[in-house]
Structure formats: structure tokens, C-alpha cells
Amino acid sequence: MKPEHIEPFFATLAAANPEPETELEYKSDFELLCAVLLSAQATDVSVNRATRTLFAAASTPAQMLALGLEGLQSHIQSIGLYRSKARHLLQSCQMLIERHGGQVPRTRAELEALPGVGRKTANVVLNVAFGEPTLAVDTHVFRLANRTGLAPGRTPLQVEQGLLARIPPAYLRHAHHWLILHGRYVCRARAPLCSQCQVAAWCDTGAQMGAQTGARKRAQPEPLPRP
């Protein structure tokens, strides 16, 4: 993607959705942390379905610990990798109580010290809960960054660093959600909806497809005149 295309790319996404939000359901920073931790290799829909009953039963670290391992697993067993996630979540709850007074910490280092919390999860919490201009690179963002040419990279960290370097500061606060939602619903892994894409004009792949379509049209023979 050419540098001059980045501004209109994000301006268009912003105009269509000025205040994007996560599709995970939560009512507190702690619930957000839990939901994001549980969402690894799972859909937001499946996580929301499980956390509706979980958060009704336990919405604080202390209440979560009181459920115990089996009690927690019973709420989230519909989510992939639920056994390891339950173990990590309870360990994180213990650390939140012992080290942070039961509150979700506001620094990357403290968040990543929690069991089951990696860079992506920390970025989501920093961005959504605390308004930090961070970018969590999930499969949707990784695919979109490479497909559009916005920030090509071989690893999530390379893509994250490329995005932070190229996205104008005015758009960094919400860029994470614009890219995720666009990748989830428009720039899909299979059968991307390029014909319906509002930002195709600035996308490397969209531009290539447009050029190919134009070339095919030009290559078609003109219809013979009627006698």
C-alpha cells in the first residue's frame, strides 16, 4: 500500500464506524481480561455464550477462585482448550489478588506476567480498557495487513510493528477494531468481499484485481456490427 493511500483507507473505515467496539461482552476490566484470555483460538460468539453464565456467577477474581477448577470448567467447557484456559485463569486471579489488589494492572509487563496472557491479550486490554494506542494482531489483522499491503510481515510482531509505524496517530486508538471487524466481515480468509469493500481502491490486492478486470474487458473483442 502506498503511503498516500493509508490516510484515505482509515478515513473511510472511520467514517463508516466512528466508535468501533469489541464484540466480546464484558462489564469490567476484569471481565474483559477473562473474555480475551478465553478467546484464544475461539470465536467471540462462543466466548460470549460461555461468559454470560460465568460472569453471572463470578465477576471478581475472588469469586472466580471460589468456583474452583471444576466449577470454572463447567462454565467454559464449550470453548476450545477450556481445561488449560481454566487453569491459567485461576492462576491469574490469584496473582491479581496477591500483587494488584484484585485490580487489572495497566502496564504491558504486568499483564504479560499473568498466566495465559500473551502480547495479543495484553494489547487488547491496554487498548480497550485503558485507551492505549496498541494493536493486537490476530488472524484477521495479520491477514488484512498482508493482503492489503498495509504492513506486510511474516510474524504477528512484525505486522504489529509495521502497523504502528504506518498508521497515522489520529487513527491508532481505534485501528485495532477497524481492522479486526473489516477482516472478520469483509476481507475474509475465504471468498473476500472485494466487490463490496469500501477501501478496495487503496488495497494492493483490490488494485490488482481491478487492473486484471480492466485488462480482461479490454481484451474482449468488440461485438460485430449488425448487418
Our answer to whether residue 138 is catalytic in this structure is yes
Q: 100 with 59: CB under 8 angstroms?
A: no
Say what the alpha-carbon torsion angle 126, 130, 134, 137 is, to the nearest 10 degrees. 50
Give me the phi and psi of 113, to 5 degrees please. Answer: -75, -15
Which among 2, 29, 44, 138 is annotated as catalytic? 138
Inter-axis angle of helices 156-166 and 139-148, nearest 10: 60
Q: Residue 125: which H helix or E strand, with range? A: helix 119-128
Which residue's entry shows cell 460468539?
Answer: 45
Closest CA to 115 of 63, 42, 37, 59: 37
User: Cβ atoms within 10 A of the Cβ of 93, count?
Assistant: 26
What distance in Å separates the CA atoms of residue 110 and residue 120, rounded to the nearest whole number?
14
> Taking the alpha carbons of 131, 136, 140, 142 in that order, is the dihedral positive or negative?
positive
Which among 44, 120, 204, 217 is annotated as catalytic? 120
Which residue's entry shows cell 471444576?
Answer: 70
What distance in Å separates the CA atoms of residue 45 and residue 28, rounded to the nearest whole number?
19
- Which residues are identified as catalytic? 120, 138
